[in-house]
Structure 1
């Protein structure tokens, strides 16, 4: 018996307007077919993609990969697992790039990561705060990475007086309590592919049901966190259509509604 063929994202026939709020298309995982996958994203209804550069070295090396794709905007930040790299020179280079390149739309992904324990917590916190200060100096949105560190991440954001500042909690995978605290601070939440894992994301699905429509975005975090029905394969922006499909089921709205709502939220947040 042959295996059931997995549906392609183009089969959902979504209209233009979707936004992948967090992708890593500059990574070498996409060196063989980057332009093809960007074209597939457009064919699947994506109007914009936000590519995340993990530090100024990556930005300076790889920004030219997107010269032919003006609908792709950028984030730039030092990931907490690389917090040791945030010297004064690196911070100044970041500042200069933000001032010079209008395609750079936010500072991120920044925050805390206690899962890998690659960098001492105090160094992570110091790098996080320095980049928050930079974002506020430049009036740029902040995009959060928090893994096994939610209490400390929230404490720093609140201590820095960021209530109602444009903050996006990237790759949300927790439950209602965290979602409500984020929302009560006036921030946004981006949902990745694992929300489609029905048996392993019940808490996240319950949280998604409670997140207000005007605070919700979708993302791939590609090449990671591939949604069903393509779980186990490399993720790419077009596949976020299936993440939107699952959110639509949870929220009791049409897929097209969720597609346009999350896209509009991202356009408003990033100033696209």
Structure 2
């Protein structure tokens, strides 16, 4: 969090959420979070975050970053080649990710998902055909490893849904990361048996369609995330995001669902634990 605190920016621990929350999507190996990781994780625990899922964007990111988390056993992992780097999803990269996952399964047991993977038509950085090939290859990797999938879909909803269904992933463990869609998209995701993770922008004033969707998503399909260091929720928008600030997202999601924030926090944490196979508190 920014050192330049303002009087109207309460600390997340003042929300007094119980320490049962699960941060389902963080990039803790990115700057500046990696440079201050013990303090970042301490602030997360003070705010009620019990466990976190660290997303490694490919095998090189895993090799370079996994040692950061050796002493932080409440951080588990996912690995996948992002669609904006889909040209890096070679056969060799997929084979290396498989080897990483299988070795982890024999030893640490911290690799919980394949992701974030999917399609991104917003940035137009990689040919859509290349993205689709990388997506399909990594879905097959997840199937072979019997791991859940974390989906990145930006301005590619219809194609992402179609590919998942065509490849047999309806009613399999699929999490729609950083959901920013509308009610119809949320209903389509839920009908396919998938889960939805809600990020900080649900707190932004203009995101009425997202709040309408959140209100309609069944509680047992909901998780929370930061996607830190990006997408900081209000009232800390404009600063570096970090897991502690997920508490403010929880309060807004609870408001959308007419729930007590502590109950929402606990329920989304339990959903994440069941989905990723995380230990109980």
User: Which residue in 2 is equivalent to 1:15?
Assistant: 18
What TM-score, normalized by structure 2, do the two folds share? 0.95
**Residues in 1 aligned to 2:76 and 2:156: alpha-carbon distance in whole angstroms:** 28
User: Do structure 1's residue 107 and structure 2's residue 110 form an aligned pair?
Assistant: no
User: Do structure 1's residue 210 and structure 2's residue 216 form an aligned pair?
Assistant: yes
User: Which residue in 1 is equivalent to 2:184?
Assistant: 177
Specify which of 132, 140, 150 is matched with residue 143 of structure 1. 150
**Residues in 1 aligned to 2:175 and 2:12: alpha-carbon distance in whole angstroms:** 25
User: Which residue in 1 is equivalent to 2:258?
Assistant: 252
**Residues in 1 aligned to 2:145 and 2:158: alpha-carbon distance in whole angstroms:** 26
C-alpha deviation, 1:88, in angstroms: 1.1
User: Do structure 1's residue 40 and structure 2's residue 46 form an aligned pair?
Assistant: no
Specify which of 251, 263, 267 is matched with residue 269 of structure 2. 263
User: Which residue in 2 is equivalent to 1:152?
Assistant: 159
Runs of 4+ in 1 over 2 A off after TM superposition: none
Encode CA deviations 1:59-89: one digit per residue, 9 max, x unaligned: 0110010111100000100000000001111
Q: Give ranges in structure 1 of 5+ residues lacking alignment.
A: none
User: Do structure 1's residue 64 and structure 2's residue 71 form an aligned pair?
Assistant: no
User: Which residue in 2 is equivalent to 1:223?
Assistant: 229
Encode CA deviations 1:207-263: one digit per residue, 9 max, x unaligned: 000000000000000000000000010000000000000001110010011000000
Q: What CA RMSD, in Å, does the superposition of the two structures yield over aligned residues?
A: 1.0
**Residues in 2 aligned to 1:47 and 1:160: alpha-carbon distance in whole angstroms:** 34
Encode CA deviations 1:1-26: one digit per residue, 9 max, x unaligned: xx633100010111111001000000
**Residues in 2 aligned to 1:125 and 1:31: alpha-carbon distance in whole angstroms:** 31
**Residues in 2 aligned to 1:6 and 1:224: alpha-carbon distance in whole angstroms:** 18
**Residues in 2 aligned to 1:10 and 1:263: alpha-carbon distance in whole angstroms:** 17
User: Do structure 1's residue 129 and structure 2's residue 136 form an aligned pair?
Assistant: yes
Q: Give ranges in structure 2 of 5+ residues lacking alignment.
A: 1-5
C-alpha deviation, 1:178, in angstroms: 0.4
User: Do structure 1's residue 189 and structure 2's residue 196 form an aligned pair?
Assistant: yes
User: Do structure 1's residue 28 and structure 2's residue 28 form an aligned pair?
Assistant: no
What TM-score, normalized by structure 1, do the two folds share? 0.98
C-alpha deviation, 1:154, in angstroms: 0.6
